[in-house]
A and B are shown apart, each in its own frame.
Chain A
Amino acid sequence: KAGVTQTPRYLIKTRGQQVTLSCSPISGHRSVSWYQQTPGQGLQFLFEYFSETQRNKGNFPGRFSGRQFSNSRSEMNVSTLELGDSALYLCASSSGGRETQYFGPGTRLLVL
């Protein structure tokens, strides 16, 4: 089974721009979660999508949004980028219950 894939792997943007990150979950997994990780920090939960609906949301501003498509692929969007948005953005998929999450390699975003 192919793992979780994320594109792009690396991205450089400037302040004020917007960015869209993509995540393809493991085949059959219907839940996709997004996390932000900054150096020296643990994983900060952004949101979770299950069957195209946002099921959980973390404490991030409205500039961070996401969606999930019928094939379970998910996208995350950050508008009006700030320097502090520079981070590794991780996507994880699970089959939706109490099962464990499987992570992609992440997208490293640098905001200049």
Chain B
Amino acid sequence: GQQLNQSPQSMFIQEGEDVSMNCTSSSIFNTWLWYKQDPGEGPVLLIALYKAGELTSNGRLTAQFGITRKDSFLNISASIPSDVGIYFCAGPDSNYQLIWGAGTKLIIKP
């Protein structure tokens, strides 16, 4: 079945640094979603992408829908402490069931 591979698995960064993470698949997706999950809470939708090549921003977050439809990227600029959490990519399969990456854990060094 379809799978999403997220990398890196975790990131240790300094406050103020920019962050990049990505999600790849061996098959095509028509929608890419990026979620963030804070500890003990459910994931919250950050950005939704619907067209190949699309670049969408939400504040300091920018996500891109890869031109091949097999990948997506999420960038966070000038990270702050509240950016800590787990970032997931997801995309719907042909039955509209969401397929999820394993997540990228963001940790900010004090």
Q: Which residues of B contact A106 (CB under 8 A)?
A: 40-42
Give the contact stretch, choosing among B60-68, B76-84, B91-99. B91-99
User: Is the CB–CB distance between B43 and A98 below 8 Å?
Assistant: no
Residue B48 at the chain A interface, CB threshold 8 Å = yes
Residues 67 to 91 of chain B near chain A (Cβ within 8 Å): 88
Most buried by A among B33, B43, B88: B43
Residues 84 to 103 of chain A near chain B (Cβ within 8 Å): 88, 90-92, 97-98, 100-103
- The DSSP consensus for interface residues of chain B is loop
Residue B11 at the chain A interface, CB threshold 8 Å = no
Chain A nearest CB from B105 CB (Å) reads 9
Docked complex Cα distance between A108 and B41 (Å): 10
User: Is the CB–CB distance between B102 and A41 below 8 Å?
Assistant: yes
Residue A14 at the chain B interface, CB threshold 8 Å = no
| Size category, B interface | 20 to 34
Residue A77 at the chain B interface, CB threshold 8 Å = no
Q: A98-B31, A100-B45, A100-B48 are in contact. Are A45 and B97 (CB under 8 A)?
A: yes
Residue A48 at the chain B interface, CB threshold 8 Å = yes
Residue A61 at the chain B interface, CB threshold 8 Å = no
Residue A42 at the chain B interface, CB threshold 8 Å = yes
User: Is the CB–CB distance between B96 and A45 below 8 Å?
Assistant: no
A-B contacts, 5 listed (Cβ < 8 Å): A42-B100, A42-B102, A45-B97, A103-B44, A106-B40
- A56-B95, A103-B35, A103-B44 given; 19 more Cβ-contact pairs under 8 Å: A4-B42, A33-B98, A41-B102, A42-B88, A43-B43, A43-B100, A55-B95, A56-B96, A88-B40, A90-B43, A91-B42, A100-B33, A100-B45, A101-B98, A103-B43, A104-B42, A105-B41, A105-B42, A106-B42
